[in-house]
Amino acid sequence: MLVPAILFAITDGMRDLALSMLLVGSLGVFAALMVLGAISGFERRLGRASGYLGLVAVWVLLPVFAAVSFKTLAGLTWMDAWFEAVAALTTSGSTLLARETTPQAILFWRASIEWYGGFLTLVSIIHVLAPGGFGGLPAGDRRILTGYASDMTVDLVEFREVLGHYALLTFAVFVGLMLAGVDGPFAAMLAMVAIATGGFVPFDGSLEDHAGPLAQVVLALGLAVGTVSVFWRRQLLRAPRRFLTVNPETGLIGLAILLVGLLYAGRIFAVSGGADLGPILAESLLTAASLIATSGIESRPGVIALWPDIIVLVVVVVGGGIYSTTGGFKVYRIVAMAVHSARELNQLIYPSSVANLRFGRHVIDEQSMRAIWTYFALSLLIIAVSAMALTFTATGFDGGIAMAVAFFANAGPVYEALMPPVYTTEPLNQVWPHLAAMPASAKLAAIVVMTLGRLEVMVVFAVLNVRYWINR
């Protein structure tokens, strides 16, 4: 993955940077060969405990290796490099890089890590989280790709199919952005970020300075595709009518994007004094897709903040599709909890009534509902604890809540988008501080929250079951 970044460095005449990148890549190859050598000859079958432990280990250790690259290539401190790596791999999108002075090769490497983090999210869901049913994930969808629902299998054919599909969608967005007039390097980076539903913008200043209305529509479509379940994207083109009936989650997400987009369009039209409708619609569509995809990208500063903070945070914390790269609770869980609550209220009046819980083709059993409610309670607890930790170490109360929700939902730029204008010129303020000005303790808390949000929370608690490991 470093090869394109190395080519960028050579093209820009930065031979020393290219050599440093080559050395970092060589260390990565060496580490990979050591791992492959250690497991060669062993049966590659995952049990539940080893699968959960392996998943957590991947998401904890990979950012450490990536941090070495940011420390070496970008000159960040170790804590800043670790924060940058976690924000990239979890597709949270926050960055501590000075984009106006950082070489384009490093920016491309940063976008590549975010793209890979989105793919790693899909692999984690398909091979570990879905079979384990974590947080009420419906394992049945997994049969569409693997033929199995509950086995933790890692098949190279399936792996390549997901990777090829992911790369093809990225290429389609890249071509669309190029045709819309975006420069080639920026189009490539934005395409990778969009499909990963990340929030990293590879240039300083406003997005509208580099991407016009048409490019913003293409970017919004890329983010919208990123919110759709990886298992059902192929069906969207083959049989759209059947797709919406068996997978109503996508219909709800599309409806939410249109509704939020129209509301933002009205708000932008009101504050702009009657500007052209075309650019307003493009801008509002991008904003809506960005929030529901838990990206946080905005066309220009202040657009996301046109809505009250609490509404923006609610949209972000809900997120998109259950089997997608988006963060948050996911629409499937919210609908399941609503349907379950309605049934319980109905049984207060008709205690003998029997009603199955369904969402599209999925029958939601009581075990899944317990997992969903447990996930929901743990998520709220983590957001509350992280907000307290951030408030005590770096921010005010409002800023701490906004930062905790944004990092848990892997939508880091939303915190900066909601920052009141009075604090944008004061990086060291104690109410809404800039990310680079936060103390190391606050950055460490943010790293933990981003990782927990990406790992669906419950798998970490499963790995931390001390009694199990003692009795092995």
Closest C-alpha to 296, from 60, 90, 66, 445? 90
What is the reported pLDDT for 149? 52
CA distance 349 to 331: 28
- Answer whether residue 341 is part of any domain: no
Q: What are the tokens at 246?
A: 């068996």
Q: How far apart are CA 296 and CA 290, in angstroms?
A: 5
What 3 state SS string does the chain have?
Answer: CHHHHHHHHHHCCCHHHHHHHHHHHHHHHHHHHHHHHHHCCCCCCCCHHHHHHHHHHHHHHHHHHHHHHHHHHHCCCHHHHHHHHHHHHCCCCCCCCCCCCCCHHHHHHHHHHHHHHHHHHHHHHHHHHHHHCHHHCCHHHHHHHHCCCCCCCCCHHHHHHHHHHHHHHHHHHHHHHHHCCCCHHHHHHHHHHHHCCCCCCCCCCCHHHCCCHHHHHHHHHHHHHHCCCCCCHHHHHHCHHHHHHHCHHHHHHHHHHHHHHHHHHHHHHHHHCCCCHHHHHHHHHHHHHHHHCCCCCCCCCCCHHHCCHHHHHHHHHHCCCCCCCCCCCCHHHHHHHHHHHHHHHHHHHCCCCCCCEEECCEEECHHHHHHHHHHHHHHHHHHHHHHHHHHHHCCCHHHHHHHHHHHHCCCCHHHHHCCCHHHHCCCCCCCCCCHHHCCHHHHHHHHHHHHHHHCCCHHHHHHCCHHHHHCC
Q: Strand pairing of 357-359 and 362-364?
A: antiparallel
- Phi and psi for 363 in degrees, rounded to 5? -95, 120
pLDDT, residue 470, reads 66
Amino acid at 96: L
What's the start-to-end Cα distance of the chain, in Å?
38
In a domain, 333, yes or no: no
Report the C-alpha gap between 148 and 161 in whole angstroms. 16
Residue 19 Cα to chain centre, angstroms: 31
Structural domain harbouring 68: 2-245
Q: What are phi and psi of 364, to 5 degrees?
A: -95, 110
Is residue 218 in a domain? yes
Residue whose token pair is 């990778």? 192
CB 348 within 8 A of CB 335: no
Q: Contact at 8 Å (CB) between 131 and 152?
A: yes
Residue type at 85 in one-letter notation? A
In a domain, 312, yes or no: no
Say if 25 falls within a structural domain.
Answer: yes
Tell whether 41 is covered by a domain. yes
Confidence at residue 49, expressed as pLDDT on a 0 to 100 scale: 75
Q: What is the pLDDT along the chain (472 residues), one digit of tens a residue?
A: 888 899 888 988 888 989 999 998 888 889 889 988 887 777 666 677 777 888 888 899 999 989 999 998 888 999 999 999 999 999 998 999 888 888 989 999 999 999 999 999 988 888 888 777 777 777 655 555 555 555 566 666 667 778 888 899 999 999 999 999 998 889 999 999 999 999 999 988 888 888 889 999 999 999 998 888 776 555 555 555 555 566 778 888 889 999 999 999 988 888 887 668 888 899 999 999 999 999 999 988 889 999 999 999 999 999 888 888 898 898 888 888 888 888 888 878 877 766 777 776 677 778 888 888 888 999 999 999 999 999 998 888 999 999 999 999 999 999 999 999 888 888 888 889 999 889 999 999 999 999 999 988 877 777 777 666 666 6
Instruction: Estimate to the nearest angstrom the gap between the alpha carbon of 281 and the chain centroid.
Output: 25
Question: Is this model's pTM higher than 0.85 or not?
Answer: yes
* CB burial string 312-325: b at 16+ within 10 A, e below: bbebbbbbbbbbbb
Domain count, the chain: 1
Q: Using CA atoms, how far apart are residues 317 and 295, in angstroms rounded to an integer?
A: 11
436: in domain: no
Neighbours of 27 (CB within 10 A): 13
Residue 260, in any domain of the structure: no
d(CA 146, CA 159): 10
Q: Residue 296 in contact with residue 304, Cβ under 8 Å?
A: yes
